[in-house]
Amino acid sequence: MKTGFLDRVLIYLFSLIAACLAVLAALRAFGLDLVETFFEGLSAAAPGLLWKLIVSGLAAVVVLLAVYAMVVITPSRKKKSAFVTLNADENGQVRVALPAIRELAMQALRGVAGSQDAEIRVYEDSDAISVAVNMNVTSDMHVPTVTMNLQRAIKEHIQKSCGVSVRNVTVVVDSVLPAPAGASFAPAAPVERPESAPQPAPIEAAEPAVSEETEEASGEEAPEDEEA
- Locate the domains of the chain by residue range: 5-73, 83-177
Q: How far apart are CA 108 and CA 78, in angstroms?
A: 31
Q: What percent of the chain has pLDDT over 70?
A: 72
Mean predicted lDDT score pLDDT of the chain:
75
Confidence band of 156 (pLDDT split at 50, 70, 90): very high
- The CATH code belonging to domain 83-177 is 3.30.70.1350
pTM: 0.47
pLDDT at 207: 54
Confidence band of 121 (pLDDT split at 50, 70, 90): very high
Mean pLDDT of 18-44: 77
Crossing angle between the packed helical segments 5-29 and 50-73, to the nearest 10 degrees: 120
pLDDT at 228: 39
pLDDT at 212: 52
pLDDT at 152: 93
Q: Is the pLDDT of residue 145 over 50?
A: yes
For residue range 70-118, list pLDDT tens digits in order: 887 776 554 555 878 777 677 887 888 889 999 999 999 888 887 778 8
Q: How far, in whole angstroms, is CA 211 from its chain's centroid?
A: 79
Mean pLDDT of 183-195: 48
- What are the E-state strand segments in 8-110? 83-89, 92-97
pLDDT at 30: 80
Look at residues 3, 13, 6, 5 and name the one whose alpha carbon lies nearest to residue 65: 13
Confidence band of 133 (pLDDT split at 50, 70, 90): very high
Confidence band of 120 (pLDDT split at 50, 70, 90): very high
Crossing angle between the packed helical segments 50-73 and 34-45, to the nearest 10 degrees: 130
- Residue 84 pairs in a beta bridge with 96
Residues for the chain: how many in total? 228
Confidence band of 57 (pLDDT split at 50, 70, 90): confident
Look at residues 88, 92, 80 and name the one whose alpha carbon lies nearest to residue 129: 80
R_g of the chain, CA atoms, integer Å: 43
Q: Is the pLDDT of residue 65 over 70?
A: yes
Q: Is the C-alpha dihedral spanning 218, 221, 223, 228 positive or negative?
A: negative
Residue 112: CB atoms within 10 Å: 19
Burial of 54 (0-12, 13-18, 19+ CB in 10 A): middle
Query: For the range 183-189, what are the long-range contacts, defined as Cβ-Cβ under 8 Å and sequence gap of 24 or more?
Result: 183/138, 183/140, 184/140, 185/139, 185/140, 185/141, 185/142, 186/113, 186/114, 186/140, 186/141, 186/142, 186/145, 187/142, 188/142, 188/144, 188/145, 189/142, 189/145, 189/149
Mean pLDDT of 166-192: 72
At 133 the three-state DSSP class reads: strand
